[in-house]
């Protein structure tokens, strides 16, 4: 049982790097812990990235994402705004995979995980139960990171050569790197830089990431829009929409609202 700290809210989050060669498939280790003095749940909304997460979670009430916790869970790519009803207290220790990293690690298609949270053991194997127990038995985040890295490292060891030789995975990783460039606003531009067809990108993104390359590209441009508005550059939303590759302000507003939950004008003024 995780008891709220007396008289005050506690919210702690952070991330740590993972060692090589695990960084071939994992971006970083991250954690979040929360406690509230009043025994009421609250809603958390997150503008998610195009990655999957392996998490060890515990919470008051024993339920998160509609599943029993404590437990080890696998989160697929979230195409909507990620909204979760958080109980008064809980904690999560996790790793974020590289875009396509889980598919490369397992040698399998991950599109069936999109917009889903499932018990990790159903996908990764029964060792996930041991991982959950080990991680929840310690409190130091660096030690937790090492435990997760050790368990995943055993999985990677058996497929290390295959991951290193996976040309399609390298293509996906390079495409995602290019998509972070705000100047690239069309999938055709990314495909041209990589000397492949847009159809090739579509095929490999579906298998490795679980969503289309257009979805990933638009997600990064929406994050750019939010960052620009946060930086005080939201006075000309029509101009911002054009610069990010949207046909007009209305298209940006619809996409932004679907992901963030409010239109860019309200986000700017709120």
Report pLDDT digits (tens) over 120-140: 999 999 999 999 999 999 999
- Whole-number mean pLDDT of the chain? 90
Count of domains in the chain? 2
CA 98 to chain centre: 9
83, 43 contact by CB (below 8 A)? yes
What are the residues whose beta carbons fall under 8 Å from the beta carbon of 190, sequence distance 6 or more?
175, 178, 179, 184, 201, 213, 217
Q: Are residues 195 and 147 in the same domain?
A: no
Domain boundary among 136, 164, 192: 164
Residue finishing a domain among 164, 182, 210:
164
Give me the pLDDT at residue 82, please. 64
Reported as a single tens digit per residue, the pLDDT across 64-88 is 888 999 999 999 998 876 666 778 8
Higher pLDDT, 97 or 226: 97
The helix (run of H) or strand (run of E) holding residue 54 is: strand 53-59
What's the DSSP call for residue 88? Answer: S
Does this model's pTM top 0.85? My answer is yes
Q: In CATH, what number is assigned to the domain containing residue 198?
A: 1.10.10.60
- DSSP class of 256: H
Residues 67, 108 within the same domain: yes
pLDDT of 267: 86
- The residue that leads in pLDDT, 149 or 40, is 149
Looking at the fold, whether 197 and 125 belong to one and the same domain comes out as no
3-state helix, strand, coil in the chain (%, to 5): 45, 20, 35
156 and 205 share one domain: no
Listed residue (51, 95, 50, 49) closest to 72, CA to CA: 95
Residues 118 and 150 in one domain: yes
């Amino acid at each position: 049982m995780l008891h709220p700290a007396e008289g005050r809210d506690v919210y702690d989050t952070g991330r740590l790097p993972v060692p090589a060669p695990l960084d071939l498939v994992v971006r970083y280790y991250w954690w979040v812990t929360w406690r509230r003095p009043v025994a009421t749940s609250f809603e958390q909304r997150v503008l998610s990235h195009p990655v999957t997460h392996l998490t060890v979670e515990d919470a008051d009430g024993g339920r998160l994402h509609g599943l029993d916790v404590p437990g080890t869970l696998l989160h697929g790519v979230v195409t909507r705004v990620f909204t979760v009803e958080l109980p008064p207290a809980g904690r999560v220790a996790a790793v974020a995979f590289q875009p396509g990293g889980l598919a490369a690690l397992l040698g399998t298609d991950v599109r069936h995980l999109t917009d889903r949270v499932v018990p990790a053991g159903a996908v990764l194997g029964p060792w996930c139960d041991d991982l959950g127990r080990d991680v929840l038995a310690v409190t130091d985040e660096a030690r937790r990171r090492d435990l997760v890295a050790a368990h995943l490292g055993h999985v990677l060891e058996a497929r290390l050569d295959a991951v290193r030789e996976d040309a399609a995975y390298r293509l996906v990783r390079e495409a995602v790197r290019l998509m972070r460039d705000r100047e690239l606003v069309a999938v055709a531009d990314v495909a041209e830089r990589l000397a492949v067809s847009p159809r090739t990108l579509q095929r490999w993104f579906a298998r490795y990431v679980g969503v289309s390359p257009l979805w990933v590209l638009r997600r990064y441009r929406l994050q750019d829009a939010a960052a620009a508005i946060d930086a005080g550059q939201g006075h000309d939303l029509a101009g911002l929409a054009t610069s990010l590759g949207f046909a007009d302000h209305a298209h940006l507003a619809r996409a932004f609202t679907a992901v963030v939950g409010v239109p860019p004008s309200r986000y700017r003024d709120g």
